[in-house]
Amino acid sequence: MAGSATKTVHDIFQSMEYGPATTSTFATAQAWLDHHSRSLGLFIDGMFVRPADRQSCSVTDSTGGAVCSTVCAVGDDVSQCASSAANGYKAWSSLTCQQRAKVLLRLVSLLGQHGQCVSQLCELCGAPCSLSTLVRLLQYYGSWAQLRDTLISGWAPLGVVAVVVSDDCSLYSLLLKVLPALAMGNSVIVVPGRTKAPPALLLAQLFVAAGLPAGALNVLTGGDMSLGAEVAQSPNISYITYSGNKQDAVRLCEATAGMGVPVSVSICIGPTCPFIIFESADIDSAVDGVIEAAFKKIREVHWVLCVQESVLESVEARLRLRMAGMKCLALRSDEDRTLVDAAVQEAQQQGAMLIQPCTAPPSGAQYPPTVLCRAAPSSLFVVSPSPGPLLPFMTFRTNTEAVAIGNHSPHGLAASIWTEDLTLALETAKSLSVGSVWVNSHSMSDPCMPVCGHKDSGTCTDGGQEGLYQFLCSPGSSFPTLPRSWVVDALLALTHNYVCTTDLPISVSGCSLAVQSPGCGDVLAYCPDGGRKDVRNAVEAAVKVQPGWMKKSASARAQSLYLLVKCLEAKRQDLAASISAQAGVSLDKAEKETDFSISRLNDWAANCDKIKGGNLPVPHSGLALSLPEALGVVGVVLPDKNPLLSMVTLLGAALTTGNAVVMVPSQKYPLPALTFIQVLQSSDLPAGLVNILTGRRDQLTVALANHSVIKAIWYWGSAEGCQYLQHTCTNPLKTLYLSSQKDEEETDEGRDWTRSSLLEEMWRNAVQWKNVWIPTA
Amino acid sequence: FFYFSMSRVLDLEWISKVRVNTHSVLMRAQHIQGQKIPNKQWQAAWLLKAVTCIDLTTLNGDDTPSNVHRLCLKAIQPVQHDLLRKMNMHNKGVTTAAVCVYPSRVADAVMSLKAANSSLPVASVATGFPAGQTPLETRLKEVCMAVADGATEIDIVINRTLALQGQWEAMYDEICQFRRACGDAFMKTILAVGELGTFTNVYKASLVAMMAGSDFIKTSTGKEAVNATYPIAIVMVRAIRDYYLRTGFKVGFKPAGGIRTAQESLLWLTLIKEELGNDWLCPHLFRLGASSLLADIERQIYHHITGKYAAYHELPMA
């Protein structure tokens, strides 16, 4: 503002304008950067490392000015970092819970001293993060570090965890992964996005100053996602978890498939979220809310405004009025501007009306906040939203239609609903298949709430106690279960297999496989050879009954499962005989397995009403509910070992939590599963809830992987199968639980299906969490 | 204002549909309170704007012609002349918006202002201020007498009994009668929000008051436990906005009670600018009911000009 200094009191008295915005200073952050000569190294083993001859990449601020440069790590750095992290893990995990908690809490007081530097650096790098949020995160996870052995006894840290985030991911989302991993005793390798690297490096430095052992937190910086995959290759890594946008998530999943490391992703950047205004809403507040949410400086999700037809005009009028004084918002680049222009033009051609405070400037990386009225779910700008401050605006007629529109999307991150009618709010919150529902509010978050993107928005839970389990392995289990072999052409092999079988008649048309007894080649039976179409039919059937099963009360589900136990008991002899004949074990041993299966199913039935959410103590007033929900249809490829017990364990986990299953019994030992079909038939479980498809494992795995309705696959099989699933199940994302079993030596090795800690591990895998925020005064 | 009131009707369906979410309103208020306050010449200009929106008020049992006279002269010259001159605002007619007194003091105020050759309006509270618990007949009479004595603005209080019982139609009728009694005088309707219980009631009462022809709606008498708070103001200005969107009438807003510091007056202006826009930032549509606020504003202006903090006795008293 050139003439601002000469503005007289009288001018301002007339115009009543605001004074010039105070420009923030970054003196403290600049001093820190200067101290590091404006070129930051990698943070390995508790110190900055600047290896020679590395490419550097520059970090710029919002105006394009250079902030500093960072090092692009290469293979040597990654292996140095991984071995440092392995040592860091030894030091960190050998501390007591209290000692770990102390380090996290000491960082809180360090933030008191260096908070200014941290917040300035975050702002300078375009990732503003309030100090109070950081403190809350540290205090929350400090308390979990303290209580790990008390409240989650028996569970142990995984080892070295890699946290990878995309460039556009916020510092909050990054720390929502790093801090729980540390709090549980893991060591962490952070691979931050390019622009978030400086704050991440500063925090790592502060962590070491707070007493974190060297190597427990390393930061590797680099150019793009390929660094994440490179980190995964290192044999020391136990687990990779990712936060950010979908494209980079897919890239990471594909690049790390078959490396033997479990990968889970949270898509917190870019999903489309409905903003639903019912006629019973406080319209003024709702309109203020949507403007705040959709036209923020940093927009992480794409909102779509859905308004009940009866209040359409009133919302539209208020939007016009409230947006009148708004200024243009900055875009990331000139390319984004081209995309925005194209999207708006396209929308106008389809008859969309614009609400804008001013017309767009002819060029430049900025655009006025724009509401695109008369949008429809099929509009291009709704289906594939462009960057920039664009808000599609559509209408619905009834409450049911609002839910239908809200759910008709591949994304499932969050929704904001506005109504003063509590019943309507809770019913809608229940019906929306999203991870977070904000009632009469939006974008609220707190580390104590488990956040879990549904559908294509993620495969893991972050935050809350539930979010800790991704960094822990259950008592008695050995992690990782995936082999560290990298089968280059496994993918090809499996796909090849698939292509072949499509030429053969499939079981829909009656093809069958011979089932042989072990040792000798006697044919015990012929079972149908299921294929793609059988999976399709099974999923169709499952989708029909699953919602009803989930809606049943927990106690009704328990009764159904108890009845299933009774039916199982009735068939006890037959099942034992089939196990014995099939697996070649003594009848005595087979009976033992059957009895154990009966008691396992009893356990599950008893567990039905014990798996519950609740109201969590968020630091806001009102209610913040965390509710477990079924995943939907789960595909299970069963192991060879303990054919009946493993099946009942996994089936029970899925059914207890309200899921439907499509199960593929062991290709080698399908007989117990076939016998179990009779048990199912005599039970009162709705037909279609449990589907058992025998046939070739690989062929059926491919079919399961390529059915979008299936939200999760639990797989026991070949390393190739694991790689195939990791590579394929990215669009839409499926939650994978993979174990590779070695065909030869399945007797003594592998999972112990009798241990009771399996129950908790499996039900946690069978649910997704939904949080419902109902803030009140 | 007569034709205004003629075209305003009671719309009970509109009133029945009112919904206010308390939490969102509180959040919005918090957001506005977190806004940066203008400084330097912007602050000075905004403070002067606040001065021109003040209804300089004395509503005490011990009011006599002499303190009313002092108040009137302060209202004409609210900021010391040399301070205004330094900002080149001495000839821009900076006075408070009005003086506000009890009906019995209207005649004194009118006389003082007339003697000082000022056309500053005299506002009078009426209708059984502050409780409104007197018979309708005497309340109407009070309005008529204040108008007859020369008050050109009347601050009426609503009947909280009717509002709390949801008898909106009866309340509307009463206010309409006051409106007629006011004649050409400006009518400001005091909702006494501290006694209305909920935000929804505040919103509804605001709408009824506007439908019945109020030129202003005012938060409180200054005698209730809860006075002008930002969340309540947001509810009321939203009602004003709603009314403007539906009917095209711009109704003014007057927060009163407990507004004492220059800082607060700036926040009030910010709130109005944010919620209603610049149109409302004039004495015609925005008033601040206050008695001690002016002294603090004057000190702030003194500081802006001189860089020193004044003692209260350095600036002329009201």
Instruction: Identify any residues that bridge with A416 across adjacent strands, giving them in sequence order.
Output: A275, A438
Instruction: Identify any residues that bridge with A42 across adjacent strands, giving them in sequence order.
Output: A49
Of A542, A536, A541, whose CA–CA distance to A506 is shortest?
Answer: A536
Asked if A504 and A562 touch (Cβ cutoff 8 Å), the reply is no
Q: Please list every residue in chain B whose beta carbon sits closer than 8 Å to the beta carbon of residue A12.
A: 41-42, 45-46
The helix/strand/coil state of A124 is: helix
- Parse chain B into domains and list their residue ranges: 2-306
Q: A777 to chain B nearest CA, in Å?
A: 5
**What is the Cα–Cα distance from B11 to A693, expressed in whole angstroms?**
65
Instruction: Write the burial class of residue A150 (CB in 10 Å: 0-12 exposed, 13-18 middle, 19+ buried).
Output: exposed
**What is the Cα–Cα distance from A79 to A235, expressed in whole angstroms?**
9
For an interface test with A, the pick among B23, B203, B272, B282 (most A C-beta atoms closer than 10 Å) comes out as: B23
Of B104, B93, B100, whose CA–CA distance to B55 is shortest?
Answer: B100
Q: B50 to chain A nearest CA, in Å?
A: 10
Specify the higher pLDDT residue, B167 or A526: B167
Average pLDDT, stretch A757-766? 92
Q: Of A175-184, A478-487, A660-669, which one has max mean pLDDT? A: A175-184
Average pLDDT, stretch A703-713? 94
Q: What is the DSSP string of A556-610?
A: HHHHHHHHHHHHHHHTHHHHHHHHHHHH---HHHHHHHHHHHHHHHHHHHHHGGG
Put simply, whether the predicted model's pTM sits higher than 0.90 gets the answer yes
- What tokens does A140 get? 């929350």
Residue A552 pLDDT grade (very low, low, confident, very high; cuts 50, 70, 90): very high
Name the residue with tokens 């912007």. B42
In eight-state DSSP terms, residue A347 is: H
Domain with residues A272-410+414-452, CATH architecture: 3-Layer(aba) Sandwich (3.40)
Below-50 pLDDT ranges, chain B: 1-6
Q: A601 to chain B nearest CA, in Å?
A: 46
Residue A622: closest C-alpha in chain B: B23
Using CA atoms, how far residue A209 sits from A145, A204, A310, in Å, is 18, 9, 59
Q: A224 to chain B nearest CA, in Å?
A: 38
Instruction: Write the burial class of residue A1 (CB in 10 Å: 0-12 exposed, 13-18 middle, 19+ buried).
Output: exposed
Residue A747, pLDDT score: 45
Same fold, A27-270 and A490-502+531-745+752-775: yes
Q: B251 to chain A nearest CA, in Å?
A: 16
Residue A325, pLDDT score: 84
Given a cut of 70, whether residue A507 has pLDDT beyond it is no
Contact assignment for B43 to A19 by CB distance below 8 Å:
yes
Contact assignment for B49 to A16 by CB distance below 8 Å:
yes
For an interface test with B, the pick among A285, A308, A438, A623 (most B C-beta atoms closer than 10 Å) comes out as: A285
Q: Residue A401: CB partners within 8 Å, gap ≥ 6? A: none
Using CA atoms, how far residue A663 sits from A654, A695, A704, B81, in Å, is 11, 11, 10, 89
**CB nearest B48 (choices: A11, A13, A441):** A13
Helix, strand, coil distribution of chain A in percent, nearest 5: 45, 20, 35
Instruction: Identify any residues that bridge with A307 across adjacent strands, giving them in sequence order.
Output: A277, A395
**CB nearest B24 (choices: A19, A21, A282):** A282
Given a cut of 80, whether residue A488 has pLDDT beyond it is no
CATH topology for A490-502+531-745+752-775 is Aldehyde Dehydrogenase; Chain A, domain 1 (3.40.605)
In this structure, the strands spanning A66-71 and A39-40 are parallel
Residue A100, pLDDT score: 96
Instruction: Identify any residues that bridge with A170 across adjacent strands, giving them in sequence order.
Output: none
For an interface test with B, the pick among A17, A282, A314, A318 (most B C-beta atoms closer than 10 Å) comes out as: A282
Name the residue with tokens 């396209």. A346
Cis peptide before B130 (omega within 30 of 0): yes
Name the residue with tokens 């090809």. A492
Contact assignment for B21 to A282 by CB distance below 8 Å:
yes
Residues of B at the A interface (Cβ-Cβ below 8 Å)?
Answer: 19-28, 36, 38-46, 48-49, 87-89, 92, 238, 241-242, 245, 269, 273, 277-278, 281
* Beta carbons within 10 angstroms of residue A199's beta carbon: 26
**CB nearest B87 (choices: A9, A289, A317):** A9
Given a cut of 80, whether residue A209 has pLDDT beyond it is yes
For an interface test with B, the pick among A6, A15, A284 (most B C-beta atoms closer than 10 Å) comes out as: A284
**What is the Cα–Cα distance from A279 to A282, expressed in whole angstroms?**
8
Q: B144 to chain A nearest CA, in Å?
A: 36
Residue A175, pLDDT score: 94
**What is the Cα–Cα distance from A117 to A134, expressed in whole angstroms?**
13
Residue A5, pLDDT score: 63
Kindly report the backbone phi and psi dihedral angles of residue A576, in degrees, each rounded to the nearest multiple of 5, phi listed first: -60, -40
Helix, strand, coil distribution of chain B in percent, nearest 5: 55, 10, 35
Asked if B253 and B212 touch (Cβ cutoff 8 Å), the reply is no
Residue A519, pLDDT score: 61
Average pLDDT, stretch A265-289? 96
Average pLDDT, stretch A370-376? 93
**What is the Cα–Cα distance from A210 to A215, expressed in whole angstroms?**
14
Which residues of B does the annotation mark as catalytic? 218, 254
A34 touches chain B (CB under 8 A): no
Contact assignment for B277 to A324 by CB distance below 8 Å:
yes
**What is the Cα–Cα distance from B89 to B51, expressed in whole angstroms?**
12
Kindly report the backbone phi and psi dihedral angles of residue A429, in degrees, each rounded to the nearest multiple of 5, phi listed first: -60, -40
Residue A653 pLDDT grade (very low, low, confident, very high; cuts 50, 70, 90): very high
**CB nearest B24 (choices: A15, A289, A314):** A289
**CB nearest A284 (choices: B87, B89, B238):** B238
Residue A491, pLDDT score: 37
Q: What percent of chain A has pLDDT over 90?
A: 68
Mean pLDDT, chain A, whole residue set? 89
pLDDT in tens, A412-449: 999 999 999 999 999 999 999 999 999 999 999 999 99
ipTM of predicted assembly, 2 dp: 0.91
Residue B92: closest C-alpha in chain A: A10
**What is the Cα–Cα distance from A631 to A462, expressed in whole angstroms?**
16
CATH topology for A27-270 is Aldehyde Dehydrogenase; Chain A, domain 1 (3.40.605)
Residue B218, pLDDT score: 96
Average pLDDT, stretch A724-733? 92
Residue B312, pLDDT score: 83
* Beta carbons within 10 angstroms of residue B248's beta carbon: 8
Residue A264 pLDDT grade (very low, low, confident, very high; cuts 50, 70, 90): very high
- What tokens does A495 get? 């796909």
> Long-range contact list for A100-104, CB < 8 A, 24+ apart?
A100/A145, A100/A146, A100/A182, A100/A183, A100/A185, A101/A142, A101/A143, A101/A145, A101/A146, A101/A183, A102/A211, A103/A145, A103/A207, A103/A210, A103/A211, A103/A212, A104/A138, A104/A141, A104/A142, A104/A145, A104/A179, A104/A182, A104/A183, A104/A210
Q: Please list every residue in chain A whose beta carbon sits closer than 8 Å to the beta carbon of residue B250.
A: none
Task: For CA atoms A329, A332, A334, A340, give the dihedral sign.
Answer: negative
**CB nearest A775 (choices: B23, B45, B277):** B23
Residue A316, pLDDT score: 95
Residue A744, pLDDT score: 41
Residue A489 pLDDT grade (very low, low, confident, very high; cuts 50, 70, 90): very low
pLDDT in tens, A84-122: 999 999 999 999 999 999 999 999 999 999 999 999 999
CATH number of B2-306: 3.20.20.70
Instruction: Identify any residues that bridge with B88 across adjacent strands, giving them in sequence order.
Output: none
Average pLDDT, stretch A180-203? 94
In this structure, the strands spanning A660-664 and B98-101 are unpaired
Residue A23 pLDDT grade (very low, low, confident, very high; cuts 50, 70, 90): confident
Helical (H) or strand (E) element with A105: helix A97-124
**What is the Cα–Cα distance from A711 to B123, expressed in whole angstroms?**
70
Q: What percent of chain A has pLDDT over 70?
A: 93
Residue A494 pLDDT grade (very low, low, confident, very high; cuts 50, 70, 90): very low
